[in-house]
């Protein structure tokens, strides 16, 4: 069964304290892995798409990496405005058209 697991469920950091969020996946064939950011009471916003192992993408303080089993979202020197829930989603070959498999998310809190 295709599955996406995010860890930790919650992460509390001090401003400037770098860390990483994990998204491990089990799918028959990876078509794409997506990272989204979601603020409380709002819809998710797209951050990155990764397609193959070894791929990396960066945006400001965020860097996403991909291996054959997992993806990491590295946050360098985070600021309080980075506080949000980060969602990982996987699209597998052979799955229903358009059916992303979402993880439960990691809630990040950055304290000043």
Partner 1 sequence: DGGITQSPKYLFRKEGQNVTLSCEQNLNHDAMYWYRQDPGQGLRLIYYSQIVNDFQKGDIAEGYSVSREKKESFPLTVTSAQKNPTAFYLCASELGRSGANVLTFGAGSRLTVL
- Which residues of this chain interact with partner 1, rule CB under 8 A? 4, 31-32, 34, 36, 41-46, 49, 87, 89, 91, 96-105
Q: Which is nearer to partner 1, 42 or 68 (CB)?
A: 42
Q: Least distance to partner 1 from the beta carbon of 73, Å? A: 16
Q: Which is nearer to partner 1, 18 or 26 (CB)?
A: 26
The three-state secondary structure class of 69 is coil
Cα 90 from Cα 33, distance rounded (Å): 5
Pairing of strands 106-111, 10-14: parallel
* Helix (H), strand (E) counts: the chain: 0, 11
Q: Least distance to partner 1 from the beta carbon of 24, Å? A: 14
Q: Which is nearer to partner 1, 24 or 49 (CB)?
A: 49
Structure tokens at 100: 């992303």
């Amino acid at each position: 069964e295709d599955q996406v697991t995010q860890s930790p469920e919650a992460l509390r950091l001090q401003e400037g304290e770098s860390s990483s969020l994990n998204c491990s996946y089990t799918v028959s064939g990876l078509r794409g892995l997506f990272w989204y950011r979601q603020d409380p009471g709002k819809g998710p916003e797209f951050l990155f798409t990764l397609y193959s192992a070894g791929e990396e993408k960066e945006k400001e303080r965020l860097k996403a990496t991909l291996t054959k089993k997992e993806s990491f979202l590295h946050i360098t020197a985070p600021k309080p405005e980075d506080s949000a829930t980060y969602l990982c989603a996987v699209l597998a070959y052979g799955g229903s058209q358009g059916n992303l498999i979402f993880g439960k998310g990691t809630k990040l809190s950055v304290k000043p």
